[in-house]
Each structure stands twice: as structure tokens, then as C-alpha cells.
Amino acid sequence: MAHDEDRSAIIRELANEFTKRTDLDELIPFVVEQLREKLPANGVSLLLLDEARNELEFAYNSQGNAKTGQRLAGVRMPADRGVAGAVLRQRTPELIANAQSDRRHYSEIDRKTGMSKGSLLAVPLLVGERRLGVIEAVRLSGESGFTEADMAMLEQLGPFIAIALENAGLHSP
């Protein structure tokens, strides 16, 4: 676990790196891979909101196992379901110690990946009043859970990720 000073340096570094990237095809994998490494997490997913269909789409997913990540690419779920849907709707990040036991857990995703989630971090991606999506990080069942410090780090990075997505052309008016 990184100390507060280390986390502050990581946040500054990542915020700068995120906002430098202006190509979505480069930005999205970079964000997800960096978060997976720095938190660290078994998996990180970027879910983008499709307002017209009221769905969240897994735009990119990074898992330790490449095949698992590929199974989620392009998968859609109702925007009002799961922890991701709740986080987006309430515009509030969440740290969940055991995602499997959370009543909002959307188990269809676990069935697709064959993975069993343990600890979960979810942060809404917002630009002003606009909702762009959610960034989620997971650790598998049986592994140590995320901490409040991990949550704070992801929460602080959320606005930089959202601005970088917007600057790269996502959801431009």
C-alpha cells in the first residue's frame, strides 16, 4: 500500500498522463491498465453510458487473464442495474467489501467472466451534470479488500478521467 505522499504523486502523475491523451483508442486502455497496476486490482473496467439505450457498455476491461477481459468487451447492462448503475444514478462512489453479498450485485457479469468478485470500487465519471459512465476496480474473492485510501485515490482520479474522455471526443455535443 502506498503512503499518502506516494499516492499524491501517483494521482498527479496519472492525472497529467490521462489529460495528455486525446485519442480515445489510446486513452481508454491506458487509463484502465494504469489503474489496474497502481491500485493494484485484479481487474478494472470502464463502463460508458449509452443514454439513448439506457445501458452501460464495457468499453474496456483489463484482467490478469486476457480471455476474461475479452469476454466483457462490448457487453452491455441496463444502466439502472448493478452497483455501477447505482453509483452512476446517485453520482456517489462506493467501496464494497464483498460484491457478491451486495443486493445490487449484477451476477450476469460474473457468469460471463467466470470470475467471483470480492472487493469492489466504483466511481461515477461526471463532467458537470453530464454522466459519462463508471470506472470499476475489483479484487477477487479471497484476496485482501480495497481500503479507504484506495477509494480516495480512485475518487480523486475520476474527474480527470471524465475530462480526458470528454477532451478525447467522447459524448461531444
Find the domain containing 77 and state its range: 4-167
Domain membership of residue 26 (yes or no) is yes
Domain membership of residue 172 (yes or no) is no
Report the CATH number at residue 104.
3.30.450.40
Domain membership of residue 70 (yes or no) is yes
> What is the value of pTM for the model shown?
0.88
The grid coordinates listed for 145 are: 479488500
Q: Which pairing describes strands 130-140 and 117-127: parallel, antiparallel, or unpaired?
A: antiparallel
Domain membership of residue 47 (yes or no) is yes
| pLDDT greater than 50 at residue 171 | no
* pLDDT tens figures, 117-134: 789 999 999 999 999 999
For residue 156, the surrounding DSSP H or E stretch is helix 148-167
| pLDDT greater than 80 at residue 46 | yes
| pLDDT greater than 70 at residue 112 | no
State the total domains in the chain: 1
Domain membership of residue 151 (yes or no) is yes
Domain membership of residue 173 (yes or no) is no
* pLDDT tens figures, 47-88: 999 999 999 998 887 766 545 556 677 889 999 999 999 999
User: Is the CB of residue 153 less than 8 Å from the CB of residue 10?
Assistant: yes
